[in-house]
Structure 1
């Protein structure tokens, strides 16, 4: 009987992860095809960067509203609605072109992802015991959809057009709605808190820098720089490398979660971030594909670490608010990153750009160990 609550927590975490994993591929595929096929979507590269950032930026303002709605209606209602909206957004990518039309779908997806991400992390850390293990397993399930979608979408874009594959992704997201019905109903059990200004801590700064560098500068740079090296096959190579990131999550995130419980998530965070910084310098220096492969694997290993660190530092009712705060800081960075990439990549030395980015990532990670 004592194992029943833990089994229920594990089951709820799996269901929420599957819903996010089936809703996410349209977003990850857009990061692959939009920088390379901006003209076919009626966009400039700078506009593509803004659209890739828009879903992050809307969450900065919208996370508090999403958290309140999640607290009121709970996991089932929030995730069912978010999955349905994700399907509509994928359909929009398949059928619409132009900046303003696509902006609407990016904003809708941003709020939907906020709900899905909040539910996934909240359920994975509902009990502190086993939180790192559940978070690792959660990342593996979430990664399955993007891992399969990225190479298939790259082949579709290379041989047909970049729009058509989104029709399939819309159907997949719609199939996530019945799975979301299995999540617990009722309130999300988030207690309201006072709104007060607080300077960002070391973990906030790392979340910001990680989002800016790895979810912004690196992802957009992979497509942009890859196209300059291999114009005819860049989308397929980039798609395979991004799929490798998710394959690494499937294979290594559960292992990383177990190791984090044994040796400490903070120690792993610092080690992996510093190693990623070295690979980023090589990426900017011209060892594009090899260092890109190293970056995507190392990034995948870092993803399960932030939730257990937050759960340990902020136990009890503070936990969900703290998770949302870290997500906001990451979204700020990941929102600024694509816009910076769209402006700087055509005019800046890639070695200089990624060396500065690497230094920022390593410094912010080291600060997480030296300050609480």
Structure 2
């Protein structure tokens, strides 16, 4: 679907706003559930499974989401996703017990798949300005979690960890009404080739490894580091540090998009991945502020690069499916990461774990750049 640049800008901003309103009820779970597992009627191990479930369900469910999205368009897909987000937020306020919460997490996982796919597809719907729109989209998405994390941490300190989710359900309802203004035009899709789960190309492999390292190992380790180093202030300080992730996205993702437009997405991916290796190594050696801050800043700069790169390498009707496939591999990595962290961090030195994770990120970026000639025909 190719649309005028002005319409593409407006639709991309609206879709990003919907995700910004719905996302806080998910990100606050990563802060509050591990530290307050008893309040949700679950064990710490069950909390880990719940926090990974929303990503893992997308491995198998993304194909259904893509088909619904392509056939019904952004308006229908995001209206339904916003409704599911609201139901999940209300459920997180009142429901206890692993199995009921698991149903909510699976529902949210599929809703997020539609929300995320729409923001990427609309940002790249017109090739001219795709990198700029991707950066702007990431900045808008970051506003909701950035504000919700520290405020949610404060509310939890005084009123318990569950009241905040009822408040956030109201914002998902606002997102539902905003979604009604999105275009309803279907998206063209390539003819099915019989393979629902493709082997990753070099970009998807980088996304998988970054998902393991940054969305899995790092986020899990940040909570542990904060608890061990900061003691009683862990909830609020961890909330502020996680909010920095979204502050970085809001301020720096547009810069990452402009850097991709000016110097090339592949070149900047290699540069930022190399710097990420240094930041993860610093974090592993317990340089909490420098390491964590560096990782969060560099993650924000990298986000628009991958969307732009996937769109460049898959022009035409294959773009939406390629974006969804890349997101699946990112989710696989982000789902594996917490499970890997739970096994490795109790028995291995964090300096080794995070140094090796950083090395894997930069090596995969170099591989991605080397295979560019094969993947982008002249």
TM-score after normalising by structure 1: 0.96
Q: Is the 8 A contact 2:135 2:254 kept in 1?
A: yes
| Mapping 1:88-107, distance limit 5 Å | 88-107=87-106
1:336 is matched with 336
Pairwise CA distance, 1:304: 1.0
1:355 is matched with 355
2:178 is matched with 179
| Mapping 1:145-224, distance limit 5 Å | 145-196=144-195, 198-224=198-224
Deviates more, 1:199-208 or 1:12-21: 199-208
Gaps of 5+ in 2: 373-378
Q: Is the 8 A contact 2:255 2:301 kept in 1?
A: no
| Mapping 1:1-372, distance limit 5 Å | 5-196=4-195, 198-372=198-372
Q: Is the 8 A contact 1:36 1:224 kept in 2?
A: no
In the alignment, the residues of structure 2 paired with residue 117 and residue 103 of structure 1 have an alpha-carbon distance, to the nearest angstrom, of 21
Deviates more, 1:6-15 or 1:95-104: 95-104
Pairwise CA distance, 1:27: 0.9
In the alignment, the residues of structure 2 paired with residue 30 and residue 48 of structure 1 have an alpha-carbon distance, to the nearest angstrom, of 9
SS at match of 1:328: helix
Q: Is the 8 A contact 2:256 2:300 kept in 1?
A: no
The alignment yields a C-alpha RMSD, in angstroms, of 1.4
Q: Is the 8 A contact 1:206 1:365 kept in 2?
A: yes
Runs of 4+ off more than 6 Å: none
Q: 1:39 to 1:225 in 2, by over 3 A?
A: farther
In the alignment, the residues of structure 1 paired with residue 152 and residue 56 of structure 2 have an alpha-carbon distance, to the nearest angstrom, of 26
CA-to-aligned-CA distance 1:250-305 (integer Å, 9 cap, x gap): 11111221121011111111111111111111111111122111111111111111
In the alignment, the residues of structure 2 paired with residue 224 and residue 97 of structure 1 have an alpha-carbon distance, to the nearest angstrom, of 24
In the alignment, the residues of structure 1 paired with residue 123 and residue 81 of structure 2 have an alpha-carbon distance, to the nearest angstrom, of 18
Q: Is the 8 A contact 1:205 1:364 kept in 2?
A: yes
SS at match of 1:233: helix
Matched pairs, number: 369
Q: Is the 8 A contact 1:272 1:298 kept in 2?
A: yes
In the alignment, the residues of structure 1 paired with residue 274 and residue 38 of structure 2 have an alpha-carbon distance, to the nearest angstrom, of 37
Deviates more, 1:8-17 or 1:192-201: 192-201
Q: Is the 8 A contact 1:211 1:331 kept in 2?
A: yes
In the alignment, the residues of structure 2 paired with residue 211 and residue 329 of structure 1 have an alpha-carbon distance, to the nearest angstrom, of 8
In the alignment, the residues of structure 2 paired with residue 39 and residue 360 of structure 1 have an alpha-carbon distance, to the nearest angstrom, of 36
In the alignment, the residues of structure 1 paired with residue 198 and residue 174 of structure 2 have an alpha-carbon distance, to the nearest angstrom, of 41
Pairwise CA distance, 1:368: 1.1
In the alignment, the residues of structure 2 paired with residue 8 and residue 50 of structure 1 have an alpha-carbon distance, to the nearest angstrom, of 41
Q: Is the 8 A contact 1:256 1:304 kept in 2?
A: yes
2:375 is matched with none
Deviates more, 1:336-345 or 1:56-65: 336-345
In the alignment, the residues of structure 2 paired with residue 152 and residue 192 of structure 1 have an alpha-carbon distance, to the nearest angstrom, of 47
2:376 is matched with none
Pairwise CA distance, 1:47: 1.6
